[in-house]
Structure 1
Amino acid sequence: MVYRSPAIALPPSAGAPDASPVSMQSVLLFLRMRWVTILSTIGVFFGLAFFYVVLAVPTYSTSSLLLLARQTSGTDAQALEVQASFIEGQLEIANSNDVLAAVVSRPEIASGPDFEQATPSVFARLRGVIASSSDPVAEQPTVTPSEEEVRINQLIESLRGQVTMRQVGQSAVIEIAASSVDPRSAVDIANAIATEYIARNIAMKSSGARTYSEWLGRLVTEQQRELVTSANALSQFRSEGDPRDQFKLIELQSVADARKTLYENTLTRYTEAKQQITYPVSDATVVSKAGLPLTKAHPRRGLILAFSLMVGLLVGLMLALARHATDRRVMRPERLAIEAGLPFVAPLTSLKSRMGGRKTPISLFAKEQQGSSSGLNLARDISELGASLSVIRRLKHSPVIGVVGTEPNVGASTTVFGLAREWSDMGIRVLLIDASTDATLSQFLAPDAKFGISNVLENARLFDAAMVRLTPTLAFLPIGTGSVATPASRISSQRTDLSLKDLKDKFDAIFVDLPASSISADARSIASSLDGLVVVARYRQTSVDKILETVRRLRDAGGDVLGGVVNFSNAPSSSSPV
């Protein structure tokens, strides 16, 4: 979006902030300017992801499911808490060193491709470093492990990186998932862990039942002796005691019955314990054994590539936004108008090589009046620029307007020529003066001229001989030769044979092509003698800070900066300035 104003109000004001700083046009501008950064970042991330999925070793995953016997007691809430604690404990048992050591001790597991050269994983080594650093005063082990123990520990750590155990939802089912570069090895690992866990669970229950039965055996023997003692006491009282002492008889009978009941209960529990030793039952049952995986679990090519595209897009946008925010080159003319306090900043879209070559003025007019899109765009932009400056003609009699570029080759000469031609086409008597050190206009419009503005300032009678009549309403005064001082410095000194006031009496408007402000101080020298100045910059090449500095210096020198022009000739040809 180009900041255009059909008319200007002098003195220039800073203007108001944009009503909508983020618009669709600004977004499209941002994308057109930064698409290379965005696409390059996406390409880098996609390339890295592509190489990863190509070079990464594929792994296969499978899992076995175990159903645990529910532990219920008390209320529902208590039962759920007990069950959660029980399942958590069983998961720890399944992941214990004893179970995993038994798994890696199996020949078919230890000889698998994942354990041929097993070394501790990065996470395992990191855990060891953290554990050692958390307890710096811990005593060093006094026993050196054997090579076999070191190998087993390495195999266990490698196996932990391949196995995942979890509870399935809130159920009593646990999943043992294993991954491996070989699908058959993944099946063997998952099933082996399930088998060893159940065997460990049975061994634990059998060991507990054996210890319990031994204790019950001693208790049964003791209760048997007490039962015999109580029975003998009852028999002796019946044979030798006083038959009339019924209370004593009842007491002895109750003791004998109680000891008999206790003995029978203990004997029953002892028998059950013996049965658990000979036939223990595991708390877990295999619901589903691990099956042979048919597809790779890792890497997921489609997901990784899609994720890389998304991350690349986000990072590319962030980098592009960072570059866009820190880029101080001219990109948004309306923001330049606000920062520099200019009434308008107009675009010129088709200035490529317009002044190049040895062409006559007539051929230049004809070229711009052809039906090409570039010629029409330039004619339209020059017309709007001329309309923006037309108000000065009502404020000033025969205004003298200087056009200065912030640096060389920004299109200042073409701009001033286009303005002079635009106003002359409206019947205004216009004088175009070439006061630029590079003499671009003189080389193009009057290459064979012997006199110019430099000669006229020394001798006003040479004006008619130096002036080149381009059209009935457009006259051109080349730079001329013979003077060491530049025309602008001569005019600013006011020690000349011809003044700007004399030229105002002969013409309705005067345009002066001035040297670039970065290489010459002529524009500042003559600024107070002109009725207005137009600053020309190039899109995405000229720094905003340089434009602000140029405008500030011209205003400090007493010049009236009427507006600015942004040359979009280096912008993408497929888009108009926005």
Structure 2
Amino acid sequence: MNQSTNSSSEASLHAIDYWQVVKNRYGVILLTFLLVFMTALVITYVMPKRYQSTAVVEVKPKGMGTVVLRGMGDDLGGRESSSTMFFPTQFQIITAQKTLDTAIENLDLVNRWGADQETVRGILKGIVSAQDIRGTSLIEIRVRYNDPKDAQKIAKEVAEAYRSGRLKEQTDRSQQTVEEMRKAVTAQQDKVEDKRKFLAQIIRSERIIYSGDQSVFGASKGVNKADEAESAARAYLETEQEKIKLESQIETLLKYTGPQLMNYASGLSLPDNIIPRLLPEYQEAKREYDAMASQGRGERHPMMLSNAKRIEGMDRDLIEAVANLRETLKAQLALAEEQLVRLKVQMDSKEEDALRAGIAAQSFVDAKNEFETAQELLQELKLKLVSEEMQTKIAEEPIVMREEPVVSNVAVSPNITLNLALGAVVGLVFGVGVAFFLEYLDTSVKSLEDVERYLQVPVLAVIPKDVGVLYKQSGMSPDAEAYRILRTNIEFNRKNPEDNAITVVSGGAGEGKSTTLVNLAYICAQGGYTTLMIDADLRRPRLHTFFDINNSVGLTNYLTTELMLEDVILQTPVDNLYFMPSGILPADAAGILNSRRMSELIQDVKQRFDLVLVDSPPILGVSDASVLASEVDLTMIVVQHRKLPRNMLMRVKQAVENVGGHVIGVVLNNVDVRSDSQYQYYTSYYTYYAPAESQPMPAPAKGGSQAPAPRQPSRGSSSDDSKQDLY
């Protein structure tokens, strides 16, 4: 949850930073915008005017006109018109060399424009364009030229050249198609005649009676050769099975003897088989003989002898009947073998006849189908030929002019509104890009984080832009709160309470160090500090101008003469605030400042005052500031927001530290809190917490009047006063 919240805050911060860049660089953005916009305006003004003339033609692909025979070539036009490449191809044809050359010749543009053919063709390629009207088969032929009459004529002639070229192409293609189809019909007629002759030859050779869709093979009154072959094969198979049966019966008769033989023979179904009748009688006679024997009659009994004689006769009859049956089966077997040989010959003959008849029938069917297919194709070709011939005679125009080009009196180019709108958009985008690029190249101090990251010292205060001299303002100004914050941060950032001599330096001129020093001194004096301001800028002193004090006697006079300290320290109109002017400017300012008397002066005023503020020249320009930094306790750097590069500020700090000075912190001056929103929270409370009623200020003294020397406070009281809560 915390991670997502941090990411959201970071993204919001980036957005604010981007907006901050735009606000800070709005002048660059505005200037770039105006330059690009004015450039677009000038270019639009100097561009030649072009007038447009448009011819609208309807394109009819082949086959989309009147259809003579439905189904004959209907899909050709459909495929052509539905092709995604059709209209792009037509656009290229319209602007092709052949079409443009026809228009050039019809308008005699070579002589009219006084140029060669290639040049005129290049001009037309640049001014002629084609575009389809979405959802229709219409094409707009557009011509943009600086002469409206020439634009109208060129559009008309290009459309006419395209129409005539398309018509000639379609006519030539139709004639070629008709000629090719005639050749195809003639060739197909020859094929049909050859197929007919071949079919007639098969009919004659195979003795086929052919009438329409029916045909009879041979002269046997319609006997089907395949059925005859099948019947012969079936008869042969039945005879062969009968032969096998007879062979099995004979083999069994030879294998069995006695009762088994009799039982098997009685089961055979043959016309001369008497065994089924004799065998029951024989068995009955034996049963009677056995019955009489069981009754006690002997073998010599007349009835026993009679029955025995009868059984013997019946036994001989059965043996003879079996022998006769065997001979009958052999005779039938021989007959079956002879019949099987005949059937074999007959079956082979029928199969040969059926095979030959089948081949002849297949040849006939194939020849008949080929003949009929050739006839159908011939009929279709004839119908297509007739359709194409009629289509050629009544063919419609492939290109129809739907809108004639007219002379336009209104220029279509340049488009002033579009050009200016693009210029505005491009100018704005380019301006923002330049702003961000300059921001990327800008290495000046932009934020408190920059100061603390590169200088490794705290930011003591953020001073808003356009803050004047506080003691001259009526009432309690809200801007004074920034200096109260500065006073408090100085108090808590100095490690030793005895370090009360502070010099104010800057990297370059015009960063507001003198104003910062005056306002800080005023705030400290208001808080009860006895404060001394020393104008040690012996190059361009400015502190005396804030109080309208004469600068003729001051620091240089004290350092070079035997004047007393009370002679050069003046009372300002503000209670507790004292001032030492610079005095007459010397030739060697650094030499005067780098003297024992200057060191003694610093030590003396430190004992007399609670706070000593020393103004110095820019530290990177001259060596005076470095000398002062080595004499005082602390050094405060004033940095103007977005002015000096970061590397120069680092050199300022290094210059102070090189002479043994101690940097207490940085004052970020002249911050435009209205454009730099990240600093608003530093100053948003100034007005809110400002006193409701202003306190009356003491009347200022006349410039140049000498104040009495301040009394020397004890160090204990000074230390106690410095620790008061001044808010």
Is TM (by shorter chain) over 0.5? yes
Residue matched to 1:421: 522
In structure 1, stretches of 5+ residues that fail to align are 1-17, 120-149, 236-240, 355-363
The one-letter code of the counterpart of 2:412 is A
**Among 458, 466, 482, which residue is 1:343 paired with?**
458
- Residue 51 (str. 1) matches residue 153 (str. 2): no
How far apart in 1 are the matches of 2:652 and 2:550? 31
- Residue 546 (str. 1) matches residue 648 (str. 2): yes
How far apart in 2 are the matches of 1:44 and 1:550? 39
Q: Is the 8 A contact 2:58 2:399 kept in 1?
A: yes
Q: Give SS of 1:84's match.
A: coil
Alpha-carbon deviation of 1:475? Answer: 2.6
Q: Is the 8 A contact 1:62 1:291 kept in 2?
A: yes
In structure 2, the CA distance between the partners of 1:279 and 1:63, relative to structure 1 (3 Å rule), is same
1:364-513 paired onto structure 2 within 5 Å: 365=471, 368-370=472-474, 376=477, 379-391=480-492, 395-397=496-498, 399-438=500-539, 439-441=541-543, 446-447=549-550, 450=553, 452=555, 455=558, 462-470=564-572, 473-480=576-583, 486=589, 498=600, 500-513=602-615
How far apart in 1 are the matches of 2:196 and 2:552? 150
In structure 2, the CA distance between the partners of 1:532 and 1:98, relative to structure 1 (3 Å rule), is same
Q: Deviation per CA, 1:442-472, whole angstroms, max 9, x where unpaired?
A: 576652664646636975x822233223365
- Residue 117 (str. 1) matches residue 117 (str. 2): no
Q: Is the 8 A contact 1:100 1:193 kept in 2?
A: yes
Residue matched to 1:83: 83
Residue matched to 1:40: 31
How far apart in 1 are the matches of 2:513 and 2:144? 70
The one-letter code of the counterpart of 1:370 is S
**Among 309, 313, 323, which residue is 2:438 paired with?**
323
How far apart in 2 are the matches of 1:246 and 1:288? 70
In structure 2, the CA distance between the partners of 1:22 and 1:575, relative to structure 1 (3 Å rule), is closer
Moved more, 423-432 or 442-451: 442-451
Q: Deviation per CA, 1:71-124, whole angstroms, max 9, x where unpaired?
A: 89999xx959962244444444444333332233323xx459xx94386xxxxx
- Residue 27 (str. 1) matches residue 19 (str. 2): yes
How far apart in 2 are the matches of 1:233 and 1:492? 137
Alpha-carbon deviation of 1:161? Answer: 1.9
Aligned residues: 504
Alpha-carbon deviation of 1:40? Answer: 2.3
- Residue 159 (str. 1) matches residue 263 (str. 2): no
**Among 396, 412, 423, which residue is 1:297 paired with?**
412
Residue matched to 1:68: 60
- Residue 203 (str. 1) matches residue 305 (str. 2): no
Q: Is the 8 A contact 2:41 2:420 kept in 1?
A: yes
Alpha-carbon deviation of 1:400? Answer: 0.9
The one-letter code of the counterpart of 1:534 is M
Which of the pair has more CA radius of gyration?
A: 2
Alpha-carbon deviation of 1:351? Answer: 6.3
Q: Is the 8 A contact 1:434 1:513 kept in 2?
A: yes
Q: Give SS of 1:515's match.
A: coil
Moved more, 342-351 or 284-293: 284-293
The one-letter code of the counterpart of 2:34 is G
Q: Deviation per CA, 1:493-535, whole angstroms, max 9, x where unpaired?
A: 6576835343332221111122321233233234344232112
Q: Deviation per CA, 1:201-256, whole angstroms, max 9, x where unpaired?
A: 33223223333444455566677789999999999xxxxx99x8857999999999
How far apart in 2 are the matches of 1:70 and 1:209? 10
How far apart in 2 are the matches of 1:197 and 1:205? 12
Q: Give SS of 1:559's match.
A: coil
- Residue 517 (str. 1) matches residue 619 (str. 2): yes
- Residue 561 (str. 1) matches residue 553 (str. 2): no
In structure 2, the CA distance between the partners of 1:338 and 1:65, relative to structure 1 (3 Å rule), is farther
Q: Is the 8 A contact 2:21 2:435 kept in 1?
A: no
Alpha-carbon deviation of 1:261? Answer: 7.1
Q: Deviation per CA, 1:165-192, whole angstroms, max 9, x where unpaired?
A: 3455576554433333455554544454
Q: Give SS of 1:433's match.
A: strand
Q: Is the 8 A contact 1:103 1:193 kept in 2?
A: yes
Q: Is the 8 A contact 1:453 1:477 kept in 2?
A: no
The one-letter code of the counterpart of 1:346 is V
Moved more, 309-318 or 409-418: 409-418
How far apart in 2 are the matches of 1:456 and 1:253? 141
Q: Deviation per CA, 1:10-49, whole angstroms, max 9, x where unpaired?
A: xxxxxxxx99765658735743x43332222222222222
Q: Is the 8 A contact 1:118 1:155 kept in 2?
A: no
How far apart in 2 are the matches of 1:26 and 1:454? 54
How far apart in 1 are the matches of 2:631 and 2:180? 119
Q: Is the 8 A contact 2:499 2:633 kept in 1?
A: no
Alpha-carbon deviation of 1:341? Answer: 2.7
Flag the structure with more relative contact order, 1 or 2, with Cα contacts below 8 A and sequence separation at least 6: 1
Q: Deviation per CA, 1:333-386, whole angstroms, max 9, x where unpaired?
A: 66345432331153263467x7xxxxxxxxx94xx1336xxx946645444433
In structure 2, stretches of 5+ residues that fail to align are 1-9, 65-72, 216-363, 681-727
CA RMSD of aligned residues (A): 5.0
In structure 2, the CA distance between the partners of 1:517 and 1:20, relative to structure 1 (3 Å rule), is farther
How far apart in 2 are the matches of 1:258 and 1:398? 124
Q: Is the 8 A contact 2:444 2:642 kept in 1?
A: yes
How far apart in 1 are the matches of 2:621 and 2:548? 23
* % same residue: 20
Q: Deviation per CA, 1:531-560, whole angstroms, max 9, x where unpaired?
A: 321123445554443222111221233322
Residue matched to 1:124: none
Q: Give SS of 1:342's match.
A: coil
Which protein is richer in helix relative to its size?
Answer: 2
Q: Give SS of 2:25's match.
A: helix
Residue matched to 2:302: none
Q: Give SS of 2:171's match.
A: helix
In structure 2, the CA distance between the partners of 1:462 and 1:299, relative to structure 1 (3 Å rule), is same
